[in-house]
């Protein structure tokens, strides 16, 4: 005797680790979004710097901080086809340089013509930046020095260069966060990909026919069994097929027998002719007690079926809540 099957939608078998991987990616993204709250703008202005005459900004009091760094961003505003090499320096109270960085900035443009079309291109690399982390409390002075200012031919230009300077304290390095987001998203993608294949394969059979059977020892309480039927059909395939899935217990007693409609995805040649079709059926069961169970599949109409595969896995996890049919054997 067997009790009538109960089918219930449940989230009980969701894979927490897949969601944890997703959550990691979301978490880093949230940190990226909230990172500007630590930033305090100290300077934001445009200054003119004569070549070889260093220009100083007002001193800034620094102290050792746990989060963020002092960020100095500089953008040179120069005309086309000019090059400027500038240095960002940090001086201590005694006027000694304690850090410096050089940027070779340029802006070039020209015209192009190709196959009767023409236009103008411009390319530049004007922004320089230095992030510094103080190790003690001290005032520092930011100095901007133009080391070399030339046109494209190398001729020196003795004119002041306008720079847009922005100094921010508490700046976070978002490059790490972007790296983390990319990496964690990739891992989450892999986790999503492998979750449907979780669990242990108990039956994996394939035949060049429409009927297939398999038997294995599986089941038990809180053990999700995933039954997958993969069908390959030929060029005369209908759009949909019917899969009869029968489950018997160890005594051959029928516990389940249901017809499932399966829609096929048609593979077409370049001319639009159907060459083959594929479809699959995935169903979930809880089989109690742990015992020997037989699975039998019949695909109808069977005339166009090239191949049928039956895969039964146990201890499965799912991505989304699924409908699970509970079957009890009373042997």
Partner 1 sequence: MTKFFALLAILLAGTTIFYGFTQQSALVLRQEKQDNHWTRYDTQTSGSYRGGVWVTSPTRQTYGSFRGGGPGAGK
Question: Binding residues for partner 1, per CB under 8 A?
Answer: 15, 17-18, 20-21, 24-25, 27-28, 31, 35, 38, 51-52, 62, 66-70, 73, 85, 87-88, 90, 96-104, 125, 127-136, 140, 145, 147-148, 171-177, 179-180, 183-184, 187-188, 190-191, 194-195, 198, 317
CA pair distance 325, 257, nearest whole angstrom: 12
Least distance (Å) between residue 272 CB and partner 1: 40
User: What residues form DSSP beta bridges with 225?
Assistant: 285
Closest of 56, 212, 85 to residue 147, by C-alpha: 85
Opening angle at CA 48, ends 44 and 49, nearest 5? 115
DSSP-derived secondary structure letter, 264: P
My answer on whether omega of the bond before 289 falls inside 30° of 0, hence cis, is yes
Least distance (Å) between residue 149 CB and partner 1: 11
Of 222 and 273, nearer to partner 1 (C-beta) is 222
Of 94 and 113, nearer to partner 1 (C-beta) is 94
Opening angle at CA 115, ends 114 and 120, nearest 5? 30
CA pair distance 324, 6, nearest whole angstrom: 8
Least distance (Å) between residue 26 CB and partner 1: 9
CA pair distance 247, 255, nearest whole angstrom: 6
Of 131 and 306, nearer to partner 1 (C-beta) is 131
Of 95 and 271, nearer to partner 1 (C-beta) is 95
Check if the beta carbon of residue 172 is closer than 8 Å to that of residue 35.
Answer: yes
Least distance (Å) between residue 133 CB and partner 1: 4
Least distance (Å) between residue 194 CB and partner 1: 5
Of 99 and 207, nearer to partner 1 (C-beta) is 99
């Amino acid at each position: 005797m067997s009790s009538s099957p109960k089918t219930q939608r449940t989230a009980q078998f969701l894979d927490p680790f897949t969601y944890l991987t997703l959550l990691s990616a979301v978490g880093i993204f949230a940190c990226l979004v909230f990172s500007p709250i630590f930033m305090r703008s100290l300077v934001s202005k445009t200054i003119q710097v004569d070549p070889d005459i260093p220009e100083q900004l007002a001193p800034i009091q620094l102290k050792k901080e746990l989060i963020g760094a002092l960020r100095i961003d500089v953008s040179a505003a120069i005309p086309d086809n000019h090059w400027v090499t500038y240095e960002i320096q940090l001086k201590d109270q005694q006027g000694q340089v304690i850090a410096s960085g050089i940027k070779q900035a340029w802006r070039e443009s020209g015209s192009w013509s190709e196959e009767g079309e023409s236009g103008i291109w411009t390319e530049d690399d004007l922004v320089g930046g230095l992030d510094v982390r103080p190790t003690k409390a001290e005032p520092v002075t930011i100095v901007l020095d133009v080391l070399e200012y030339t046109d494209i031919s190398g001729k020196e230009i003795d004119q002041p260069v306008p720079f847009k300077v922005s100094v921010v304290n508490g700046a976070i390095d978002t490059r790490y966060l972007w790296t983390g987001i990319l990496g964690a998203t990739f891992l989450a993608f892999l986790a999503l990909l492998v979750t449907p294949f979780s669990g242990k394969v108990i039956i994996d059979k394939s035949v060049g026919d429409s009927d297939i059977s398999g038997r294995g020892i599986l089941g038990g309480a809180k053990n999700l069994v995933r039954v997958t039927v993969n069908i390959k059909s030929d060029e005369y395939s209908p759009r949909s097929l019917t899969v009869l899935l029968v489950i018997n217990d160890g005594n051959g007693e029928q516990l389940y027998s249901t017809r499932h409609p399966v829609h096929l995805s048609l593979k077409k040649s370049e001319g639009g002719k159907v060459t083959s079709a594929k479809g699959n059926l995935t169903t979930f069961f809880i089989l109690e007690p742990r015992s020997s169970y037989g699975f039998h599949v019949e695909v109808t109409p069977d005339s166009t079926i090239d191949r049928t595969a039956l895969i039964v896995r146990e201890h499965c996890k799912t991505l989304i809540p699924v409908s699970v049919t509970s079957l009890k054997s009373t042997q």
